[in-house]
Amino acid sequence: MRSLLDLELILVTLTVVSGLIWLGYWLKTRNQPAGKVDPVIVDYAKSFFPVLFVVLVLRSFIMEPFRIPSGSMLPTLEIGDFILVNKFAYGVRLPLLHNKIIETGEPKVGDVAVFRFPQDPSIDFIKRVIGVPGDRITINDKVLSVNGIPVERVSKGDYIPIAGGDQGDDQALRLSETLNGKLHDILIDPNVSSPIQDIMVPPGHYFMMGDNRDHSNDSRYWGFVPEENLVGKAVFIWLHWNIGSTWPSLSRAGGIE
């Protein structure tokens, strides 16, 4: 999930600039008689600063919206899903700097998490947490095991691709998987080979995989996600709109498992 513009930087800049203009003018004129007409730029700053400040606080510390651009999390998340990410779930972080200032929680196995791609932090990725620090992850012949225990899964038959864009492979199989007591569906493509792995998740890192297991660029190929790259936990689909293929719809609105 990549933004064409650094919205966080723009939002922080506009909030700071409008706030400084308003504050500077107030300090300059606070002892002058009331009734003076404010300059246009000050009037705009006074109008926009409260709105920008509220949006900045909500987006940075509480909830942030994202759009799903690829099918790596099918069938859980479809291309065109608009989701809300809980920014409070994995610690409160300063905007731009991303330094954690308040501990609020840690990712749990089975969470769907958004994080900054370790190889290019300007790109946001979304995957499922498969391993937390200290877990041993084994993948052999597409069978996933965590700490030596194979993850329970049940076949649900062939996957029927979703109409509208690249929404899955018609050769894929759909399975129900239970990970840390949480039930969700995954896709397996029998025509694609899977890497064999047996690794230990190091301290301060996480192992992530997409639910579309054989069509996901994830920790199997580029390694672990550092704790400082975490953005938040995906919690809710509020709109579906695969632009160019479908109309906006609330049919998929609901929580993310």
79 shares its domain with 143: yes
- Nearest Cα to 209, choosing from 91, 119, 76? 76
Contact indicator for 123, 106 with CB cutoff of 8 Å: no
Which pLDDT belongs to residue 166?
A: 67
123 shares its domain with 179: yes
75 shares its domain with 22: no
What is the phi/psi pair of residue 176, to 5°? -95, 125
41 shares its domain with 145: no
* Local confidence band at 4 (pLDDT 50, 70, 90 cut-offs): very low
The whole domain housing 193 covers: 68-255
Q: Per the residue annotation, which of 127, 142, 216, 219 is the catalytic one?
A: 127
Annotated catalytic residue 3: no
146 shares its domain with 235: yes
171 shares its domain with 125: yes
99 shares its domain with 149: yes
- Residue 116 belongs to domain with CATH number: 2.10.109.10
The tens digit of pLDDT for each residue in 19-43 reads 999 999 999 888 887 777 889 999 9
Does residue 73 belong to any structural domain of this protein? yes
Q: Per the residue annotation, which of 18, 72, 216, 219 is the catalytic one?
A: 72
Does residue 2 belong to any structural domain of this protein? no
* Local confidence band at 165 (pLDDT 50, 70, 90 cut-offs): low
Task: Find all residues with CB under 8 Å of 177, minimum gap 6, and list them.
Answer: 151, 152, 153, 183, 184, 185, 186
Annotated catalytic residue 72: yes
